[in-house]
Amino acid sequence: MQPNPKKLLDLAKKLHRPNVLVLGDLMLDEWIWGKVSRISPEAPVPVVAVDRRTYTPGGASNVAANLRSLGAKTWVVGIVGNDEAGRTLKGELKKRGANVDGIFSVTDRPTTLKTRIIAHNQQVVRADVEMRGTIDGKISSKLFSAGTSLLAAADAILFSDYNKGLIASSFMPRLISEAISKKKVMVAGAKPPNLEAFRGATLIIMNQSEAEQILNRDLSSEKTLKSSGTELLNRLGIHGLIITRGEHGMAIFEPYRAMVSIPAVTSEVYDVSGAGDTVISVATLALAAGANLLEAALLSNHAAGVVVKKVGTATVTQKELEEILESH
């Protein structure tokens, strides 16, 4: 069935309406911008003369930033370290209008921080500060309480998993059961080790390399991709699966329906940082606004076509999404 272009535009104008609870691995992205004019005398590496530093929400925080960029009411649940990076991250989310009452500071691990040095709009190097591990004890109880209390007013719950430990924590099965029992739209960006946690979800989104890792097989052929996507769909008992394929677009799977492939939106790619966060954000809002899975995938595909043109961890606005839909 061919999508109706007018309906896609109408749906894009409704993306600000749903209320979304985001739960996942929160990160701060630090950007150090500068210029290179010489090579270091100490080692064969460029010397970057720093002009400025900027900060953007990353990981599950970037999902929340995308939702806010589209105007949706957004609650964030997760943890940060009791450090400057954690305070900066909460400040960046507040600045964007997200509710951060469900973010708790912990003393036994740092805020996940990704520092990128950019020279002449090209990434020179990235340095990560992080600690993986599940969350238990009092913080786990607080996360569960915050999640269940906010779930009541949410139209959708979005799990943003970067395999840093939160999704594997003890409170998660109970929270997911609550979401399913309340019949909430439940969307997960799942990493392979935690895939089984999201049984019964409305939609799971993963990239092709993640799907290959889960199934231990190459998915470059159309035939193998079709059978493998259906296998994952049935194994997890989910209502929908999207496998993103970079320049090859997306493959969409639903029960009792043939796989649908949609091509990537043609654009000059500058930076793919955070494009997956945009895809899952827009797909969640679209489903919560009444879209079917194909419509949600098409909207998120076009949104990704906007953000890859931007340098850095970027978001998409409703106006930008409407413009790219009209141009295509």
Digit-coded pLDDT (tens) for 151-176: 999 999 999 999 999 999 999 999 99
CA–CA separation, 110 and 117 (whole Å) = 21
pLDDT the model gives residue 118: 93
CA–CA separation, 81 and 20 (whole Å) = 24
Q: Supply the range of the domain harboring residue 247.
A: 5-327
Tokens in use for 33?
A: 């911008």
Q: Which of 77, 103, 106 is nearest to 91 (CA)?
A: 103
pLDDT the model gives residue 269: 52
Determine how many CB atoms are found less than 10 A away from the CB of residue 38: 8
Number of folded domains that form the chain: 1
In DSSP notation, 31-66 reads EEEEEEEEE-SSSSSEEEEEEEEEEEEEEHHHHHHH
Strands (E) across 130-249 are located at: 156-160, 185-189, 203-207, 241-244
CATH number of residue 284's parent domain:
3.40.1190.20
Residues of the chain with confidence (pLDDT) below 70 = 1-2, 266-274, 310-313
**295: three-class secondary structure by DSSP:** helix
**Does 51 qualify as catalytic in the annotation?**
no
pLDDT the model gives residue 71: 94
Which residues, at least 6 apart from 52, have a Cβ–Cβ distance to it below 8 Å? 33
pLDDT the model gives residue 9: 87
* Residue from 25, 155, 161, 277 carrying the catalytic annotation: 277
